[in-house]
Amino acid sequence: MTETILEPDLPIIDPHHHLWDLRPLLPALAEVDHPFIQTLRCAPYYNFDSLLDDTRTGHNIIGTVFMECGAFYDARRPAELKVVGEVEYVNGVAAQGASGLYGQFAPCAGIVGHADLQRGEKAGEVLDALIEAGNGRFRGIRHQAAWDADAEVLGPPFHAPEGLLRQDDFRKGFAELGKRGLTFDAWVLEPQLGDVIELARSFPDQPICLDHCGTPIGIASYRGKLDENFERWRAGIRELAKCENVVVKLGGLGMATCGLPEEGPEAGCESETLARLWRPYIETCIEAFGPERAMFESNFPVDRWGATYPVLWNAFKHLTADASDDEKAALYAGSAASFYGIEHLLETA
């Protein structure tokens, strides 16, 4: 779908996207009929060229933050250090972008990798290796904790244990982040918001980012229950926002998991339609956290389920049409730059 780009000069830092090659995995998933797998089949290979194609569609994307996705692990390393391969690969993409051949665009200016925090204090060794591999770009980790009693919500790719964020071993590993000044991205589902609240209260000095508005669920046994569960979600968001060490990413609502829209991939919805679907969640998050602790994200290519890249950012801009210039500056770039320590991107914006 082609739309006129809204506010094309507004500087944007996209703080959440992936790079991967899932083509070798797809044969094993050929018989899996799950919306998330359908999304992956539409974008099985998303590399630097793919990112360039999306970020050059009219919006002023000045830089990005890569988010771990289990890609390009180093098969030669010991099991706990295989994750270093992902950061090495992404740092290469960042270096390619830093060459200046692609203008002022700074892809992967910040890198969020993965380390198994369930290893407790031993996770520190992996964190140190990730920091070294990042060559000054490594910012933190995401250890995804999304879980639901209904296995159909997430489908085959995700198998986080129940209550991961509450486990003693995990929290010992989590403490290693603060020793190194690293951030933590928390991906949970809406019924799990209480786990993030408890974690944030237990580690009040640890910077935490809640991904995807806390991931409202509109799939499987939750289908048709978004309205029914909205007040529970909103109460969780408001309570979490009381933790000053937490920020929130505004996005992820185009995932199949959310059912906003139910159709996909690339459902063909206009940006104004998406804005209407997403408004209650985005406005609640901004009201609770404030623009200085909230940042719009693409979550690409996963959110391709609901929108193309230019349409997605147009939807966000519809939602902030009445915001002040300062509020927009924070929501689209400033908050991300501050949280991930990439303020230098704003100097040339």
Angle of CA points 331, 337, 342, to nearest 5°: 165
Q: What is the pLDDT along the chain (349 residues), one digit of tens a residue?
A: 689 999 999 999 999 999 999 999 888 888 888 888 888 888 899 999 999 999 999 999 999 999 999 999 999 999 999 999 999 999 999 999 999 999 999 999 999 999 999 999 999 999 999 999 999 999 999 999 999 999 999 987 677 999 999 999 999 999 999 999 999 999 999 999 999 999 999 999 999 999 999 999 999 999 999 999 999 999 999 999 999 999 999 999 999 999 999 887 666 789 999 999 999 999 999 999 999 999 999 999 999 989 999 999 999 999 999 999 999 999 999 999 999 999 999 998 7
pLDDT at residue 266 in the model:
64
Greatest extent of the chain over all pairs of C-alpha atoms, in Å: 52
CA 53, 18, 111, 11 torsion-angle sign: positive
Q: Which domains does the chain have, with CATH numbers?
A: 11-348 (3.20.20.140)
Which residue in 336, 301, 259, 332 sits closest to 53, CA to CA? 301
Paired sense of beta strands 208-210 and 106-113, if any: unpaired
Q: How far is CA 306 from CA 1, 275, 293, in A?
A: 12, 12, 25
pLDDT of res. 291: 98
- Cα→Cα distances 280→133, 139, 227, Å: 40, 31, 10
The helix/strand/coil state of 14 is strand
Query: Taking Cα atoms as reference points, which of 96, 109, 97 lies closest to residue 16?
Result: 109
Structure tokens at 327: 């509020």
Cα–Cα distances (Å) from 341 to 37, 109, 133, in that order, read 33, 9, 17
Task: Give the separation between CA 140 and CA 60, rounded to whole angstroms.
Answer: 25
pTM for the whole structure = 0.97
Amino acid at 245: N
